Amino acid sequence: TGDGTFTPTSSFSVQYLVIGGGGGASYDRAGGGGAGGFLTGNSTLSSGTYPITVGTGGLGGGKTGVHGGNSGVDSTFNGLTAYGGGRGGVNNFQAENGGSGGGANWEVSTVGTGISGQGNSGGVRDGGHTSVGTGGGGAGIANPITGSTIGELSSGTYYVAGGGGGGAFQAVSGVGGIGGGGDGGTSSAKTGQDGLANTGSGGGSAYGGAGDDGGSGGLGVVIIKF
């Protein structure tokens, strides 16, 4: 759940899950933050020291003193890079690309593009609903490492890397994607919700205008099973 090293003393066959930090969202009909990139597979490691970097989530707009949110930070292990999620778009801050891309805001239809093999692009704006932002992209994949304690479900299957919900103004905001995506704000709780920590999920956009912070992206994670 943080930077460190993995130091096998002999040859290990490992299964890995590497997720980048989630992207942040903003306010005023902004797009939701995209989830961090999702990488999983198997590898054989020789004895030695393997540095690990766990990417932080991007801060939401308003929390950083600026209108636009921030994209998430990459996570790395054994030559692999799971890219941070793209921030959600807002006004003149275009949605950014990432592991999964950020959602479009109500005014600019451009969405962030996801990295092939790591995630998906942000939601495409519906031209008939110009007062809402779209959701951030997510991995759309269940965590394959049995026994993990991350994620938001307790049934034995854990989901990670959910996109953040889009924001609205005088309308209904979006719900975050399964796996920890932050919900968009509501008329009664306007602040966008943060992505769930250690799932790399994106932050949800705030309901209203300036003064209501967008949600931050969730911290990424590196899991090694051996």
Each residue's pLDDT tens digit, 180-189 = 899 998 888 8
Mean pLDDT of 193-200: 94
Strand 50-53 with 38-45, pairing: unpaired
Rounded (5°) CA angle 224-118-125: 140
Q: Residues near 136 by Cβ (< 8 Å), separated by ≥ 6?
A: 23, 25, 31, 32, 33, 34, 35, 85, 86, 88, 100, 101, 102, 103, 112, 122, 123, 163, 164, 166, 177, 181, 202
- Decide: pTM greater than 0.75: yes
Taking 3-state DSSP, the helix, strand and coil percentages for the chain, each rounded to the nearest 5, stand at 0, 20, 80
- Whole-angstrom Cα Rg for the chain: 17
Rounded Cα–Cα distance for residues 62 and 47 (Å): 46
pLDDT, residue 216, reads 96
* Stronger pLDDT, 168 or 199, i.e. the higher one: 199
Mean pLDDT of 46-71: 90
With left for phi above 0 and alpha for psi between -120 and 50, is residue 9 left, alpha or beta?
alpha
Q: DSSP secondary-structure letter at 75?
A: E
Residue 10 has pLDDT above 60, yes or no: yes
| Beta carbons within 10 angstroms of residue 170's beta carbon | 10
Residue 223 has pLDDT above 60, yes or no: yes
pLDDT, residue 27, reads 86
pLDDT, residue 134, reads 87
| Beta carbons within 10 angstroms of residue 25's beta carbon | 51
Residue 71 has pLDDT above 90, yes or no: yes
